[in-house]
Structure 1
Amino acid sequence: MIHLPPRYRGKDDAEEAPLDFADYRTTSLRTPRQPLTLLPQRLTELTGPVLGEERVTATDADLTLANGGEASGQRIVVHGQVLDSDRRPVPNTLLEVWQANSAGRYRHQGDQWPAPLDPFFNGVGRTMTDAQGRYSFTTIKPGAYPWGNHHNAWRPAHIHFSLFGRAFTQRLVTQMYFPDDPLFFQDPIYNSVPDGARQRMISVFDYEATTDNWALGFRFDIVLRGHDATPFEEDDHDD
């Protein structure tokens, strides 16, 4: 017998970022023109993908070592806990991250602004949460970068997070920011999220997670649903 996963609890609509936000120019091009359709869960969505926990190794969570060398920049440890709507730990879920290097440049052919590429930094990593829903990455603090949304537009330093449940339909994507970033005031992605929820995208400096003579620590807990949920990109319908 196949047991369907329980439905998530909904969030308060007042805390949802609008799909079309005038200050974020490209949202006008990709906002749906028709009402969204909720597709039923079928067997393939419920039984896959097979993520293969054994394929995710400890080295996948260290972004500072790649291509036979060590990345440049301020080392940081980003850790936290993935929680459900009742703030219970979510174990054995796949987290993937991607980010710019310390100069604010992605290793991607579409990123051609004249900041240096780091030959020893690929900017991608992954890990699985443990039995208590905890995760940890070692990386470098990303730099800000220009992105052409408006005059003198710069994205604040951030790390992208992707979380998978047990099926492709359960993927959620968000961004983690750093405390007291001076660029928050002009970033439309950050400002598209209502005031009450923005703080949930900002990590907290964690001195206890700071490693002596090695790396600064930041904590970023992720709540999947409910009134304390972390804001996610292109969130689906609440049912």
Structure 2
Amino acid sequence: MTERRPDVNHVSEFIPRDMTAHPPSLTPVYKTSVFRSQRFPLLSLQNSLTEVTGPVFGQHELGPLDNDLFRNFAKDGDPIGERIIVHGRVLDGNARPVPGVLVEFWQANASGRYRHVNDRYEAPIDPNFGGCGRCLTDAEGRYHFRTVKPGPYPYRNRGNDWRPAHIHLSVFGTGFAQRLISQMYFEGDPLIPHDSILATIPDPAARERLVARLDLGATIPLHTLAYRWDIVLRGSRSTLFENRLEGN
């Protein structure tokens, strides 16, 4: 997902996003888009000073287990499921690291169920797994967290639609109004070609940029597999952000 880093003395050109890679707001294969698609002209709303300037996040805001979903909710034992590490970098459109970015992540458990009152899937709740966490990128834009690999689950779209295993992630700037949201999938998942939500993205390359790759070099031998997923904020290789289809 990265682009070649430019020479430090070179002034990089801003590369606009290719809007043909983004799904149209009305995509009937994903039933929910019929109700959520735009039907009226957009209104321009000016952000207030408080929305664009705060709060400012710092290391003191995070706890020592915030990026360890394997332990941050455990009470009577370990969570059930395949242990994995997810890591990567947050980069700008010219492959430069973006430090100090708050990265949040949330997911279903290994059975495909969220710890949420509205999740009625028949899979069991794991009493030792909360399914959410956060971390800050370091000086090189790196982030990482430990978790269990989420399971797939059915959802009411067509007669027999299933979501592939995925993790939701969001990145913040210096305040809550500067938030980008996306989803990360796993290399080799056979449900990816059948996912109605991914099918709304017309550009195959943009879909591929949402898939984390197995990274055997970052695994813990005989213990934990690892996947790498870089988040690119702008440029021709930008990650697709579901709440900023118009660009970011």
TM-score normalised to structure 1 length: 0.92
Q: 1:50 Cα deviation (Å)?
A: 2.5
Secondary structure (helix, strand or coil) at the match of 2:223 reads coil
1:219 is matched with which residue? 228
- The range that moved more, 184-193 or 90-99, is 184-193
Q: How does 1:120-131 map to 2 (within 5 A)?
A: 120-131=128-139
Distance of aligned partners of 1:237 and 1:120 in 2 relative to their CA distance in 1, 3 Å threshold: same
1:97 is matched with which residue? 105
Q: 1:41 Cα deviation (Å)?
A: 4.5
- Which structure 2 segments of 5+ residues have no match? 1-13
* 1:144 counterpart = 2:144: no
Q: Report if aligned partners of 2:84, 2:147 keep a CA contact under 8 Å in 1.
A: yes
Secondary structure (helix, strand or coil) at the match of 2:206 reads helix
- From 24, 48, 58, the counterpart of 2:30: 24
Query: Aligned Cα RMSD in Å?
Result: 1.6
Q: How does 1:8-157 map to 2 (within 5 A)?
A: 10-65=16-71, 66-68=73-75, 69-157=77-165
Q: Report if aligned partners of 2:22, 2:245 keep a CA contact under 8 Å in 1.
A: no
Give a deviation string over 1:191-226, Cα, whole Å, max 9, x none: 111212111000010011100122101000000111
Distance 1:137 1:210 in 2: 12
Relative to its length, the structure with more helix (as a share) is: 1
Q: State the one-letter code of the partner of 2:60.
A: E
Distance 2:67 2:235 in 1: 28
Secondary structure (helix, strand or coil) at the match of 1:46 reads helix
2:4 is matched with which residue? none
Distance 1:219 1:178 in 2: 10
- The range that moved more, 9-18 or 155-164, is 9-18
Q: Report if aligned partners of 2:87, 2:144 keep a CA contact under 8 Å in 1.
A: yes
1:3 is matched with which residue? none
Give a deviation string over 1:19-45, Cα, whole Å, max 9, x none: 221111011111222222343444223
Q: Report if aligned partners of 2:161, 2:196 keep a CA contact under 8 Å in 1.
A: no
Distance 2:85 2:126 in 1: 19
Give a deviation string over 1:58-108, Cα, whole Å, max 9, x none: 310000112423111000000000001111111001011000000000011
Q: How many residues align?
A: 232
* 1:158 counterpart = 2:166: yes
Q: Report if aligned partners of 1:92, 1:128 keep a CA contact under 8 Å in 2.
A: yes
1:205 is matched with which residue? 214
Distance 1:192 1:213 in 2: 38
* 1:171 counterpart = 2:184: no
Distance 1:171 1:145 in 2: 26
Distance of aligned partners of 1:118 and 1:104 in 2 relative to their CA distance in 1, 3 Å threshold: same
Q: 1:51 Cα deviation (Å)?
A: 2.4
Q: 1:238 Cα deviation (Å)?
A: 4.1
Q: State the one-letter code of the partner of 1:15.
A: A
Distance 1:82 1:33 in 2: 34
Secondary structure (helix, strand or coil) at the match of 1:182 reads coil
- The range that moved more, 48-57 or 25-34, is 48-57
Give a deviation string over 1:111-170, Cα, whole Å, max 9, x none: 111111100000001000001100000000000001111111110000000111112232
TM-score normalised to structure 2 length: 0.89
Secondary structure (helix, strand or coil) at the match of 2:235 reads coil
- Which structure 1 segments of 5+ residues have no match? 1-7
